[in-house]
Amino acid sequence: MNFKKGLLLILTGFISFTGFSQLKLEKIIIAPGLELTKISENAYVHISYFVHPAWGKVGSNGLIYVQNKKAFLFDTPMSDLDTQTLVSWIEDSLNVSIVGFVPNHWHNDCMGGLSYLQSKGIKSWANQVTIDKAIEEKLPVPDVGFTDSLTLNLDDKEIRCYYFGAAHSTDNIVVWIPSEKILFPGCMAKDTCSKTLGNTADADLNEYPKTIHKVIARFPDAQIVIPGHGSLGGKELLNHTLELLGK
């Protein structure tokens, strides 16, 4: 599958983040229901859309981190087909190879395209709790498990993955890229427009606020915070999530 750069619709806009200046964002439409937003010189958020019977059209966020023609992918679109479309665009238009994958948790808006990634020989790492849950649910299983924390390297840059406890799900992790000051807590963080916690079917509402407090304390330098759904922002997303938990 080949995606020409010239066929892409590129839009630009501005998002204001608490604590630092406006960031110019470049939006790239890859296919119907699939787009990218460039958030730094080396990082993109991928957004895929699906229709939920209760909430209507929902966008799910993932992260792509690039260094020297190589990339790590964090979360996939919900299907193998959309994941194939995304990976093909990354390879053809960014001219990079995906060398690793980490899902935030076991739901299909995080690892729905894992089977396709595995068919391409892309190595995956995940929280051991995620692996255990994937086995239980008879889902594709990530290759390598970790407990508590994991440090991956993309050339000379570190990618750090942490498990601080249950929140949106019992297995959800956060990804921290120190060189970019990007924090990807995924679905445990709600965007500032959210009025509810969304899907809490697999949440642990007793542990959720404790986990968010740990995340806030651990990453005081985070500048860009990426939720699982909705608009990215700064650390105010984590504080907003705590407010929602208090309601």
Residue 168 is among the residues annotated as catalytic for this protein: yes
Residue 132 is among the residues annotated as catalytic for this protein: no
Residue 240 is among the residues annotated as catalytic for this protein: no
Catalytically annotated residue among 133, 229, 235, 240: 229
Catalytically annotated residue among 38, 46, 133, 190: 190
Catalytically annotated residue among 80, 82, 109, 191: 109
Catalytically annotated residue among 42, 80, 82, 107: 107
Rounded-to-integer distance, Cα 73 and Cα 89, Å? 13
Residue 199 is among the residues annotated as catalytic for this protein: yes
Residue 210 is among the residues annotated as catalytic for this protein: no
Nearest Cα residue to 194 out of 242, 247, 240, 246: 240
Nearest Cα residue to 162 out of 151, 148, 152, 172: 148
Catalytically annotated residue among 38, 46, 133, 168: 168
Residue 193 is among the residues annotated as catalytic for this protein: no
Q: How would DSSP label each residue in 52-117?
A: ETTTEEEEEEEEEEEETTEEEEES--SSHHHHHHHHHHHHHHS--EEEEEE-SSSSHHHHTTHHHH
Catalytically annotated residue among 75, 199, 235, 240: 199
Largest CA distance in the chain: 50
Catalytically annotated residue among 105, 133, 235, 240: 105
For the chain, the C-alpha Rg in angstroms (whole number) is 17
Residue 187 is among the residues annotated as catalytic for this protein: yes
Residue 110 is among the residues annotated as catalytic for this protein: no
Catalytically annotated residue among 61, 80, 133, 187: 187
Question: Active-site positions?
Answer: 105, 107, 109, 168, 187, 190, 199, 229
